[in-house]
Structure 1
Amino acid sequence: MIIVITRPDFFEGEAAKIAQLLQSGRADLVHIRKPRASQSEVEQLLFSIPTELYSRLVLHDHHSLAIKYGLRGVHLNSRNPEPPAGWSGAVSISCHTLSELSECRRKPYAYMSLSPIFDSISKRGYRSAFSADDIAAARSQGLIDERVMALGGITFDKITEIKEMGFGGAMILGDAWR
């Protein structure tokens, strides 16, 4: 699975780029992550995306919009640690340590991200937190599998490598918006 995460800022043509990523098959899902945006700004972006793609969108903020528009999922984070009341769609979460991943695996998340796998493209100074041996050991312990998405420094040309490491897919931010 390939998941693209939006840039935190809005930019001209963003909705068209999201649609193109999904329609071309370069991305299976798009996570809309706009931590400083108002609900109306996120809603305006949604209005600009074709409704037939809503089943492939996940929100990091303003989760009530996921209910209102029938989006695929919500992504939990420190700003939004619980899904909204009445939510029955997919729920995903970010993990930054193997112990955190182990804890999250006990819950019925659709998928979890683990980061940073490689040095970040979009966050300066955000370095890989795991050695190849760490990843291999986590895979052999059953921590890394098809429910875990690699995040951090992931480019489209590293997808095969990520799969070989045992991840179910990748979450791409920086490389998708260059």
Structure 2
Amino acid sequence: MKLIVVTTPTFFVEEDKIITALFEEGLDILHLRKPELPAMYTERLLTLIPEKYHHRIVTHEHFYLKNEFDLMGIHINNRNPEEPHDYHGHISCSCHSIEEVKTKKAQYNYVFLSPIYDCISKEGYNSPYSAEELRKAASEGIIDNKVIALGGITPDNLMEIKDFGFGGAAVLGNLWNHFDACSDQNYRSVIEHFKMLKEMSE
């Protein structure tokens, strides 16, 4: 099962070092999500991440970065609902219902379905899905290896995500909550937590 990390929406000083360390520990894909922030900050971050990992990064904004930095691809969502007209390459997409997955999955390399559990990074963003609904969607072939679970993913529910038949899990709040940019002297706890998630996902 794929393990995807979604970045925090803001930048912080140690971010490039943590992302590089995550790739070194076997991160499959990084989703670079920095809504509302100027492209120059994203460009700066990408220049600090070794080029050998750029082909495993998907950007949610500033789609020209895909070609400029030879990234893996782009991600479509409500803020950026369409790919450039001349775009060719990897595209993923955010979905917020099982029906949306059913209609969109074939058009993309993979899709996110969220929130599977109550969201950690967005307060009040609660899951609308029951376990029975998710198992039914899997039995009907809607949830499969092209569908990535997002929202509230923790070590406590990662095995259930596997059981539901998802092709991967995307983590955000549960990982980044292990690092306080204002007070932490190192980022060992983030890396150790990621290693545990990675081991459980395999």
Normalising by structure 1, we get a TM-score of 0.95
Matched letter for residue 148 of structure 1:
V
TM-fit CA distance, 1:81: 1.5
Please say which structure displays the higher CA radius of gyration.
2
User: 1:67-90 CA deviation, whole Å, 9 max, x = no partner?
Assistant: 111100100012222223443221
Paired AA for residue 23 in structure 1:
E
| Partner Cα distance (1:104, 1:14) in 2 | 32
What amino acid maps onto 1:95 in structure 2?
Answer: C
DSSP-derived class of the 1:17 partner = helix
Q: Which residue of 2 aligns with 1:150?
A: 149
Give distance in 2, aligned partners of 1:156 and 1:70.
32
TM-superposed deviation, 1:149? 0.3
For residues 1-57 of structure 1, give each alpha carbon's deviation from its aligned partner in whole angstroms, at most 9, with x where no partner exists: 0000000011110011111111102x2110000001111111111111111100110
What is the CA-CA distance between 1:105 and the residue it aligns to?
1.9
Amino acid aligned to 1:154: I
Q: Give, as a single letter, the amino acid of the residue that structure 2 aligns with 1:61.
A: E
Distance of 2:82 and 2:152 partners within structure 1: 27
1:163 is displaced (CA, Å) by: 1.0
Q: Offset at 1:156?
A: 4.2
2-side partners of 1:41 and 1:174: how far apart?
21
What's 1:46 paired with?
46
Determine the C-alpha separation between the residues in 2 that align with 1:84 and 1:70.
16
The correspondence of residues 86-165 of structure 1 with structure 2, limited to 5 A, is 86-107=86-107, 109-165=108-164
Kindly tell me: are residues 45 and 19 of structure 1, through their superposed partners in 2, closer, same or farther at Cα, counting changes over 3 Å? same
Q: Percent identity?
A: 45
CA deviation digits over 1:84-120, x for unaligned, max 9?
344322100010011111111231x110010110111
Aligned to 1:35: 35
**Does residue 10 of structure 2 align to residue 9 of structure 1?**
yes
Aligned mates of 2:15, 2:47 — CA distance in 1: 12
For the 8 Å contact 1:159–1:169, the answer to whether it is kept is: no
Cα RMSD (Å) of the superposition? 1.2
Secondary structure at the residue paired with 2:157? Answer: helix
Q: Distance in 1 between matches of 2:157 and 2:71?
A: 28
Q: Deviation string for 1:114-161 (max 9, x for gaps)?
A: 011011111101111100011011111110000000000012453322
Give the Cα separation in 2 of the matches to 1:56 and 1:156: 23
